[in-house]
Structure 1
Amino acid sequence: MCGIAGIRRFDDRPVDEGALRAMMRVLHHRGPDDEDLWVEGPVGIAHTRLSIIDLGGSRQPMTSDDGRHVLTFNGEIFNYQQLREQLDYPFVTRGDTEVVLATMVRHGAHAASDLLGQFAFAVHDRASGATSLVRDRLGVLPLYYYLDEHQLVFASEPKAILAVLGERARLDREQLRTYLRARAVHAPATLFEGIRKVPPGHVVTVSATGRATVAPYWTLPSPDEVEHGTPEEAVDRVEAALRDAIDASLVADVPVGAYLSGGVDSSLIVALAAAARREAGSTTPVATFAAEFGDPRVDETAHSELVSRTVGTDHHRVLIRPDDFRETWQHLTWHRDAPVSEPADIAVAQLATAARQHVKVVLSGEGSDELFGGYPKYRFAHATALAGRLPASARAAALRRLERALPASRGKARIGLRSLGGARMEDWFAPFTVHEVDALLGTTTSRPPRVLPHRDAIDLMARTDLDTWLPDNLLERGDRMSMAASLELRPPFLDHRLVELAFRLPSSVKVRDGQTKWVVKQVARRHLPEQIVSRPKVGFRVPLDAWFRGELESMARDLLQGTESFVGGVLDTRAVGDILDDHTRGRRDEEIRIWTLLSLEMWGRTFLADPALAAS
């Protein structure tokens, strides 16, 4: 992947080349192999490159053959060779970048619908003065922008925009509630006031006068579009689509490895990737990477090693320690541009650093749970929908009392009760209930749940996850933690052809007889040992409950209750103290709430107290 950036002034003042170079310095980790810029009066475009395809060519920013269009591109287009054959264009390179440029020249920005892959790019039309910002369908790759009456500033990461604005970053207080409820801020907003995300599957076009239009070029299939057939036919279709996605994701001129946790998704990807490599005539084993934590409750190394032996991979284990959190948290917050919303992020960053010593690209399993009903919460989708029909005040109060009465060991039950109390599909990932956020902020608000078009409760839960949780949390985290190590991450499950198939399948093949992700597990049974497929879902977990009562307890109290605490300045200190006390005394397992607050604290210290962004 790469870093892209640019400035478009509307007052005809020339772009400051030094500002562009400052953006490039901030984005160097995204593209350590090469960099360049293009400046013409009030327009400047920059690029930092991580070379994956056409290693010796395809320099950017790239100008079209007639000189009219200038492109800066981040990503990989897996069908670029097929598109190249269809385009009437005088190509001079062998890479996918020029194919993107030719597609834009011939058909316009909305022709992004022709591209298969993961991408974010900007194309400037020198004739009209318009600049188009385009992001891939699922939001695998990021793209941000700032727009006022004077200028458009865009970049792969917000901190590059902050480097141009030349002022202290400001908290968007309206989004603080969203973060506390979701551990992320949903597009197009961010926690930075004035900086916005390009929504997944959209084109943002800014005219020469600064007028912006935002329009989709892709949407999920309608709930009315249903694939009819037997469950066995659904399994065959999913396997065929996943094989195609993995074949596409192996397109590269550098080595491609894979994360291997030992769970169903990563194990299936590794098995099919290894098979594809063998079919292509390669005798080199796939390099795989797994994290271990030294805690038997979350240790999956035995399972990952079983898959490695079964498939025949070159396997690497990476030990994650509590000290890794203390030593890298602020550094990774700078890379994340937001609170490090999941404890696993720091472990993923360590894993990426280890993987980068062997490969430039890794495959990962993001998206499978959202597409195919893999989270345990999907078994309760219908109950969540039914709970929403009960009077809100009575439902929330009763379930809140019951939730607080549960012992610390019943963490999953407590999450379920909180979610049923809110009766919102997105509440299953919420660290705090609406009532608790009101207590932390000292304010109240009433927001009706957002209901997307859907055909049943499971379909609604999946569409909600793809609208919010997946792009704004999982994919943002995956991009930043991998790019911190200059490593490209590719999630084959998010090939848009497989995504479209998943949303045309009936929910009955996703959650079947109480089993989540049924159709994917049936595919996995064709390629993996039964003990991998049938074992309970663990997820990529870090043993924070124990760490926050041991090695990390004093750090948490110092940061959240100290005199210079950022959290103490924006949230109610007494409510924060109650959370810490409940966890320390073992009354409740508050690890995710403590983590959510600590991550907010670290973000505030990194960006709001340091206008020079010295944490880099």
Structure 2
Amino acid sequence: MCGINGIVVRQLSNMDERLKEMNNRLSHRGPDDEGTWNDGMAYLGQRRLSIIDLSSAGHQPMVSACGRYVMVFNGEVYNYLQLRPQFNYPYVSHTDSEVVLAAWSQMGEKCVDLFKGMFAIAMWDKQTQVLTLVRDRMGVKPLYYTCQTQGLAFSSEIRALMASGLSGKEMAQEALVDYLRYQTVQTPRTILKDVMMLEPGHLLRYHAVSGQMEMACYWDLFEKTSLIQPASYSEVKETVRRLFFEAVEKRLVADVPFGAFLSGGIDSSAVVGAMAKVSSHRVRTFNISFAEGDFSEAKYARHIANLHGTEHTEINLSPQQFLEYLPQALAAMDHPSGDGPNTWVVSKVTKEAGITMALSGLGGDELFAGYAIFNRMASLEKKKGLWQLPLGGRKMAADALTALKPGVASMKIEQLLKMPRYEFERAYAVSRQALMDEQLLAILNVSPLPSHTPVDYLMKRKRDLSKSLITRVSQAEMTTYMQNVLLRDSDQMSMAHALEVRVPFMDHDLIEYVLSLPDQYKYPITPKKLLVDSLPDLLPNYIVNRPKMGFVFPWRDWLKGELFDFADARIKNISQRPYFNEKGVMDLWRRFVKGDASVTYSRIWPLVVLEEWMEKNGVG
């Protein structure tokens, strides 16, 4: 696990200084080693967090034995031990990185199909003078780039990319709308006009001589979900169990102390249970507990820890302590997000306990229909006949509803009823919105708003490939909220402490199988029924039927109390920025403070975060 950087030059000077500064910006990601390499055209840098083969033999940038290829690599290829003997290569280390280099030396970019893991790869071909960037299938590891007339620069983080001198600091108008709608910016865009994010399952080729860039997809979540018809439910459960255990086991390969985040919910309990069964060492688990009973999940985590005999650590944290950590968590944010500080805190205390790698249950909700949106979308599909009624009548009904029962839910129903016709993609996009379009028009000097959102695009490009509603919702969740909020936050907040987080539910073999199943096996009649039925020995009823909590904090009360001055200053500052309407922003803030049901904290907090991020990074 590392941070990687690079610039392929066409018209730039002071390259050594630029690369050094980029590496410095990633020091938190890789405290164990640092390396640079250049041939006068390609400049590659890396900061290393040693996980496999802790010796100096794993130093990067790494040059192939034939001398043709130079690589920087971030992440883990979990099946590297199986791949290693397949290549006749004079290995000098025991790292997965060198296996990647060996495979590329003999197969070229086609070798990427063999890799099972989370990774971002940058490979420079000295012979053809082509740089190839690759990102893993599910987008667990980030990879940003900017391509200008002077050359191309890439990095694991936007802030390091800014140090290259190639990317500007101008915010993109459409990305701003996207962020306020969904508390993030959907790939391939970022909040910055000149910075893009390589899409999951894609590779980019940059031809240094001509300055031309090509994009190719080597794995597509939508294309890998053609419907199958298993012989029986018993067969389905056996296959899910086997694939899940394999996903966990392959992620236990490490030469450093490791553990697991344990909230006591279904997903983390499943991961810990599987770890306990397949690991040769006693599993270490970590849970944040709160003195306030309303927020504490400690008893559930304790139950799972006792069940599997883990070495369990409870980190006692008060909301006040969390608030004290908040400025540091926001300072660690590489890309603005409406979420993230929770992960920063649990990563901090886990790293301080001596752990360098931890497994997480992230992704279980998206894969096994754990969110309320699965049932909401199913309900909308059943009622789509409503959109056969005249538009005028639907608008009248929507206006009456919002007048009678104001609030976020009514605003979403209003926007849905005013759609010209029912479309899954548009309905899903509205269901996932934070600030609604009416609110956006009031606070932004942007009109009209983009009529089709990036969420629409991500869904429509492969809209007919899956007839399964539950699978379509999973695809939507994975390609939007999960990849662009949860995974991005998990990476930037854990790597702020040089902690590697591995996510078994993101195993592409498991994902391909589950998403190919008919709805009858996955419909959430009970919480995550298929996962629970497949792992009955790991998931007792006490855990399955517990209230779903997660990291719950009283953000509404904090923003009106302890965080009021902090938030108020930033709301006032952002209202003065060119894209924003001062009167609209301040009115939204006043309505929140007064308790307006249509302005919840999740509509305000992203504005606070955005202003803090822009000010800290000099973005205008």
Normalised to the residue count of structure 1, the TM-score between the two structures is 0.91
Q: Partner residue of 1:306?
A: 303
2:273 matched residue in structure 1: 271
- Cα distance, 1:269–1:334 mapped onto 2, change above 3 Å: same
Q: 2:341: which partner in 1? A: 346
On the 8 A contact 2:263/2:298 being kept in 1, the answer is: yes
Distance in 1 of aligned mates of 2:469 and 2:284 = 39
- Matching residue's letter, 1:288: T
Q: 2:337·2:485 contact (CA, 8 Å) conserved in 1?
A: no
What is the deviation of 1:166?
A: 7.1
Contact 1:8/1:44 (8 A) holds in 2: yes
Q: 310-319 or 574-583, which moves further after superposition?
A: 574-583
2:479 matched to which residue of 1? 467
**C-alpha deviation, 1:216, in angstroms:** 0.7
User: Does the 8 A contact of 2:444 with 2:584 survive in 1?
Assistant: no
What letter corresponds to residue 580 of structure 1 in structure 2?
W
Q: Structure 1 609/210 Cα, relative in aligned 2: closer, same or farther at 3 Å? A: closer
Q: Within 1, Cα distance between the matches of 2:499 and 2:441?
A: 40
Considering only aligned residues, what root-mean-square deviation do their CA atoms show, in Å? 2.4
| C-alpha deviation, 1:262, in angstroms | 0.9
Change (3 A) 1:336 1:555: closer
Mapped pair 1:555 → 2:557: no
Residues 183-225 of structure 1 deviation map (CA, whole Å, 9 limit, x = unaligned): 1111111001111111000000101221111111112245533
Q: Evaluate the alpha carbon distance shift between residue 484 and residue 232 of structure 1 in structure 2; reply closer, same or farther with a 3 A threshold.
A: same
Instruction: Summarize the Cα distance change of 1:129–1:400 in structure 2 as closer, same or farther, 3 Å threshold.
Output: farther
Q: 1:240 maps to which residue?
A: 242
Matches within 5 A, 1:261-340: 261-277=263-279, 280=280, 282=281, 285-323=282-320, 327-340=324-337
Residue 325 of structure 1: how far off its partner (Å): 5.8
Match of 1:17 in 2: 16
CA contact (8 A) 1:144 1:155 kept: yes
Distance 1:570 1:398, change over 3 A: farther
Distance in 2, Cα, partners of 1:62 & 1:312: 41
Aligned to 1:251: 253
Tell me, what secondary structure is at the counterpart of 1:548? helix
Asked if the contact 1:333/1:606 (under 8 Å) is kept, the reply is no
Please list the CA deviations of residues 438-462 of structure 1 after superposition, one character each: whole Å capped at 9, or x if unmatched: 2222422352444333213322211
Q: In the TM superposition, what is the alpha-carbon distance from 1:419 to its structure 2 partner? A: 7.7
Q: In 1, Cα distance between the equivalents of 2:395 and 2:295?
A: 32
Q: Distance in 2 between matches of 1:398 and 1:324?
A: 47
Q: SS in structure 2 opposite 1:29? A: coil
| Residue matched to 1:440 | 443
Q: Secondary structure at the match of 2:526?
A: coil
Instruction: Determine the C-alpha separation between the residues in 2 that align with 1:302 and 1:49.
Output: 37
User: In the TM superposition, what is the alpha-carbon distance from 1:82 to its structure 2 partner?
Assistant: 0.7
| Matching residue's letter, 2:345 | Q
Alignment of 1:4-43 (within 5 A): 4-11=4-11, 16-43=15-42
Deviation of residue 112 (structure 1)? 0.9
> What's the counterpart of residue 228 of structure 1?
230
Letter in 1 for 2:613: W
Classify the secondary structure of the residue corresponding to 1:185. coil
Query: Which residue in the other structure is 1:212 paired with?
Result: 213
Q: CA deviation at 1:537?
A: 2.4
Give % identity. Answer: 32
The answer on whether the counterparts of 1:426 and 1:465 sit within 8 Å (CA) in structure 2 is: no
Q: Quick one: distance in 2 between partners of 1:427 and 1:586?
A: 23
Unpaired runs of at least 5, structure 1: 611-616
Asked if structure 1 preserves the Cα contact closer than 8 Å seen for 2:527 and 2:545, the reply is no
| Residue 608 (structure 2) aligns with | 598
CA deviation map 1:375-424 (0-9, x unaligned):
0110122233466662777657744653575477xx7x568747855752
**Distance in 2 between residues matched to 1:434 and 1:144, nearest whole Å:** 29
Letter in 2 for 1:356: K
Aligned residue type for 1:200: P
Checking the alignment, whether the CA contact within 8 Å between 1:384 and 1:425 is kept in structure 2 is no
**1:477 corresponds to 2:489:** yes
SS at match of 1:557: helix
* TM-score for the superposition, normalised by structure 2: 0.90
Local SS of the residue matching 1:471: helix
Q: CA deviation at 1:468?
A: 1.6
Query: Aligned in 2, Cα 1:84/1:566: closer, same or farther, shift over 3 Å?
Result: farther
Residue 542 (1) aligns with residue 563 (2) = no
Secondary structure of the structure 1 residue equivalent to 2:565 = helix
- Structural mapping, 1:459-538, within 5 Å: 459-512=471-524, 514-538=525-549
Q: Is the 8 A contact 1:175 1:190 kept in 2?
A: yes
Distance 2:489 2:377 in 1: 26
Cross-structure match for 1:613: none
| Structure 2 CA distance for partners of 1:418 and 1:212, relative to 1, 3 Å | farther
8 A contact 1:144–1:197 mirrored in 2 = yes
Aligned ranges for residues 18-97 of structure 1 at < 5 Å? 18-56=17-55, 57-97=57-97
Post-superposition offset of 1:14: 6.4
**1:584-595 mapped onto 2 (5 Å cutoff):** 584-588=593-597, 590-595=600-605
Q: CA deviation at 1:328?
A: 4.5
Is residue 358 of structure 2 the alignment partner of residue 362 of structure 1?
Answer: yes
Give the count of matched residue pairs: 596
Distance 1:528 1:219 in 2: 31
Deviation at residue 144 of structure 1 after TM alignment? 0.6
Identify the residue that residue 573 of structure 1 maps to in structure 2: 582
How much has 1:429 moved relative to structure 2?
Answer: 2.8
Q: Deviations over 1:338-388 (max 9, x none)?
A: 22321xx21211110111122100100111111121101101222334666
Tell me if structure 2 keeps the 8 A contact 1:3–1:48.
Answer: yes
Q: How does 1:453-464 map to 2 (within 5 A)?
A: 453=464, 454-464=466-476
Specify whether residues 32 and 71 from structure 1 end up closer, same or farther in structure 2 by C-alpha distance, changes over 3 A only: same
Which piece of structure 1 moves more, 379-388 or 49-58? 379-388
State the match for 2:115 in structure 1. 115
Q: Name which of structure 1's ranges 131-140 and 330-339 shifts more when overlaid on structure 2.
A: 330-339
Counterpart AA for 1:552: L
More off after superposition, 525-534 vs 584-593: 584-593
SS at match of 2:28: helix
| Deviation of 1:308 (Å) | 1.5
Whether the 8 Å CA contact 2:89–2:102 is kept in 1: the answer is: yes
Find the aligned partners of 1:110 and 1:182 in 2 and give their Cα distance.
35
Task: Give 2:534's aligned amino acid.
Answer: V
Q: Deviations over 1:95-154 (max 9, x none)?
A: 111100111111112321100111001000000000000000000000011111111111
Q: Aligned equivalents of 1:59 and 1:289: distance in 2? A: 31
SS in 1 for 2:50: coil
CA shift at 1:569, angstroms?
4.5
| Equivalent residues of 2:22, 2:160 under 8 A apart | yes
Shift of 1:584: 2.7
Contact 2:338–2:606 under 8 Å retained in 1: yes
CA distance in 1, matches of 2:546, 2:253: 32
Q: Do residues 372 (structure 1) and 381 (structure 2) align?
A: no
1:89–1:207 CA distance, 2 compared to 1 (3 A)? same
Give, in whole Å, the separation in 2 of the partners of 1:415 and 1:286.
47
**2:532 & 2:402 partners in 1: Cα distance?**
32
C-alpha distance in 2 between matches for 1:600 and 1:400 = 32
Amino acid of the structure 2 residue aligned with 1:224: S
Confirm or deny: 8 A CA contact 1:31 1:486 kept in the other structure: yes
Alpha carbons of 1:552 and 1:125: their partners in 2 closer, same or farther (altered >3 Å)?
Answer: same
CA–CA distance in structure 1, aligned partners of residues 496 and 360 of structure 2: 16
Gap regions ≥5 residues in structure 2: 420-425
Q: Could you tell me how far apart the structure 2 residues matched to 1:609 and 1:96 are? A: 37
